Amino acid sequence: MPISPELAAEMQVLRMFDTSTSQSGLKVHSDASPDVIAATRSLFEKQLTTQIDGGYLTPLGYECSVHLQQVIQILNSKPLL
């Protein structure tokens, strides 16, 4: 399954959230790039964030963001061989 530009943008936005605390949100302003604005809106429509312009992660969004960060960490690690 290829990663579309829209999906890549959504993953970039999810990576911006600080998963070490539930008190940290994100605000995407109207002067952000159209890709970021569209990705943020899409995450809200998928019920991963609380606001159309960011807000906080929902429980599902938090889980998704944590897993995404784990995948990135694994893929960026050096092989043990």
What is the model's pLDDT at position 7?
Answer: 96
Name the pTM for this structure.
0.88
CA distance 72 to 44: 22
Residue 47 has what DSSP assignment?
T
Whether 1 has a pLDDT exceeding 90, the answer reads no
Comparing CA positions, the residue from 43, 36, 50 lying closest to residue 68 is: 43
Residue 14 has what DSSP assignment?
H
What is the model's pLDDT at position 64?
Answer: 96
What is the model's pLDDT at position 79?
Answer: 77
CA distance 37 to 61: 17
Tell me if 5 sits within 8 A of 33, measured CB to CB: no
Per-residue pLDDT tens over the stretch 10-53: 999 999 999 888 788 999 999 999 999 999 999 999 999 999 99
Whether 78 has a pLDDT exceeding 90, the answer reads no
Per-residue pLDDT tens over the stretch 3-16: 999 999 999 999 99
Tokens 């809200």: give the residue.
44
